[in-house]
Amino acid sequence: METITKPTYMKRKKDGSISLKSGSKSERVMRWTIILFILLTIVGFLFFDYTGLHLTTAITETAYNLKVMFLEPALNHFSWGEALYQIGITLGLAVLSTVLGAVIALFLSLMAATNLSKEWIAKIVRIIVAFIRAVPTVLWVLIFAIAAGLGSEAAVLGMLFHSIAYLVKAFSEAFEEVDKGILEALRATGSNWWHVVMHGVLPSTFTYLLSWTFLRFEINFSVAVAMGAAAGAGGIGFELFMASGFYFDLSEVGFITYAILLIAIILEVLSTRLKKRYFPASVRH
């Protein structure tokens, strides 16, 4: 029976002796990082202003609010038809930003892939999309709101920008995983760049592109809910904002929360079934 021993970290001292410590260097860094986060969390709680806070009352009221929200959901300020309409607006925002983003990202990712483009072009595209990804979607929406005004236009543009940057990274990495032998064989037959892409790259990566697009659509639906409140884009997110911040109707907040959760589950089930039916290989891998 084999004995499992912990990896050791070896360090040579100035006097020439060697000290051995259990665990690798990465494990030690990870351990101390977690300890630091725990200490900072404790310090943060110590610096909170607890003036006027009655813990027993706060717990009781929180439990009551959660009970009303999740056990007594109801529609009080709009009808079922309006609820379906607002959900449709939110889905429309997500679909529009995802479809446009996927199309634009497909062409940009061909320039960002190092095996399909020149190195300096790929670096420029990657730097630009990395900058776009670093800026949160809400900030992009507010930037576009200066020109287009608060509303669905600013929300779609902001979500579109972030979707493009996200999908360019995902698509280009999928393109770079294509077997080099396939590309070399096509080039050896005299195929030009566009034929290599159409007959070698896209058929080999289509399932991955579809999976990443589905994932981004689910993300955009969640973002569209938030943008409905933050950017005045409408949809179920705006109704959630009105119910929680204007009407203070916890029952309606609970109903909208359940509706959003149900739509998210339906989207997940649909994407999984589509991939299993039409692209079974991508599900297995």
pLDDT of residue 280: 55
CATH number assigned to the domain comprising residue 104: 1.10.3720.10
Residues pairing with 12 in the sheet = 18
Place of tokens 């990082």: 33
pLDDT of residue 165: 92
Cα separation of 242 and 78, whole Å?
Answer: 11
Residue 19, in any domain of the structure: no
Cα separation of 167 and 214, whole Å?
Answer: 11
pLDDT of residue 22: 57
Residue ranges making up the domain that contains 210: 78-284
Q: Are 90 and 224 in contact (CB under 8 A)?
A: yes
pLDDT of residue 34: 93
Residue 16, in any domain of the structure: no
Residue 172, in any domain of the structure: yes
In single-letter form, the type of residue at position 211 comes to S
Residue 143, in any domain of the structure: yes
Q: Which two tokens stand for residue 171?
A: 């698509």
Residue 9, in any domain of the structure: no
Place of tokens 């929680």: 244
pLDDT of residue 167: 94
Cα separation of 173 and 171, whole Å?
Answer: 5
Residues pairing with 9 in the sheet = 21
11: left (phi over 0), alpha (psi -120 to 50) or beta: beta
Residue 175: closest CA among 219, 125, 244: 125
The model scores a pTM over 0.85: no
* Long-range CB contacts for residues 16-21, cutoff 8 Å, separation at least 24: none
| Whole-number Cα distances in Å, 123 to 109, 180, 193, 195 | 11, 20, 19, 24
User: For the chain, what is the domain count?
Assistant: 1
Indicate the helix (H) or strand (E) that contains 18. strand 18-22
Q: Are 90 and 237 in contact (CB under 8 A)?
A: yes
Residue 56, in any domain of the structure: no
Residue 118, in any domain of the structure: yes
Residue 10, in any domain of the structure: no
Cα separation of 257 and 263, whole Å?
Answer: 10
Sign of CA dihedral 161, 117, 126, 283: positive
pLDDT of residue 283: 42
pLDDT in tens, the chain (285 residues): 445 455 555 555 555 555 555 556 778 788 899 999 999 999 888 888 777 778 888 889 889 988 888 888 888 887 888 888 888 889 999 999 999 999 999 999 999 988 888 888 989 999 999 999 888 888 888 888 887 777 788 888 889 989 999 999 999 998 888 888 888 888 888 778 888 888 888 888 888 888 889 889 988 998 888 887 777 777 888 888 888 878 888 888 889 889 889 988 988 888 788 777 766 554 444
Q: Who's near 268: CB < 8 A, 6+ residues apart?
A: 218
Residue 103: closest CA among 187, 167, 56, 39: 167
